[in-house]
Homo-oligomer: A and B are copies of this chain.
Amino acid sequence: MKNSKAELIVDVAQRLFAKYGFKKTTIDEIAHSAHIAKGSIYYYFGSKEDIFRAVLDKENRLWSQKVREVINRASTPQEKLRAYLVTRTKYLSKLTNFYSALREEYLEHYAFIENIRKRYFREEIEIVKAILEEGVKKGIFKVEELGLMAFVIVAALKGLEYPWTMEIPMPDIEKSIDFLLKMSFNGLLKK
């Protein structure tokens, strides 16, 4: 038995949320699509928000796994940082629900979505922090305040996401990242 009922619900909900968004997807639809009664859903989940959280968690686990995998495969801290930046950005747009929930759907700003957003923001900072830490330990990076540095990097990344929301013609994302990295490593100043 590879799929428990709870997983089935999450899978179905994932598809529907992706298509219609959180608000427009109804529990009845989910139940119907999953060929179970509505009551069954509430046997496994406490609320609609709970289901959504489960979907987001699933997508985030996938993203997190992929990102960590790519980071581990890279050998130097520089490569790790680059691998992280490129992968996280490319992969993020594939996580339909995660992405739209944290960007578009926040028009409605549900409190629970805000919380999820914060949690993942912190998670990203932790990932970057770990990379920087390794770099410092290996004597490759020179960073005084790890936490702040990680914060600034992640915040800057968010900034790179922003323009394409605004439909400003944006230079190719990967090029921008490579550029940001090159500058980060070597600095602006002429040697």
Binding site for B on A (CB under 8 A): 107, 114, 117-118, 121, 132, 135, 139-143, 145, 147-149, 151-152, 154-160, 162-163, 166-168, 170-171, 175-176, 179-180, 183-191
A8 to B30, CA, bound (A): 57
A144 to B167, CA, bound (A): 25
Query: Given known contacts A158-B159, A166-B114, is B190 in contact with A139 (CB within 8 Å)?
Result: yes
| B176 in contact with A148 (CB, 8 Å) | yes
> Is the contact region of chain A dominated by helix, strand, or loop, or is it mixed?
helix
User: Smallest CB-CB separation from A189: which chain B residue?
Assistant: B185
A163 neighbours in B (Cβ, 8 Å): 121, 155, 158
10 new A-B contacts at CB < 8 Å, known A158-B158, A183-B184:
A107-B107, A139-B190, A140-B189, A140-B190, A142-B189, A148-B179, A152-B179, A156-B156, A159-B160, A185-B188
20 A-B contact pairs sorted by A residue (CB < 8 Å): A114-B166, A118-B166, A118-B168, A139-B190, A140-B189, A142-B190, A142-B191, A148-B175, A148-B176, A151-B170, A151-B176, A152-B160, A152-B180, A154-B159, A155-B160, A155-B162, A155-B176, A159-B160, A159-B162, A186-B189
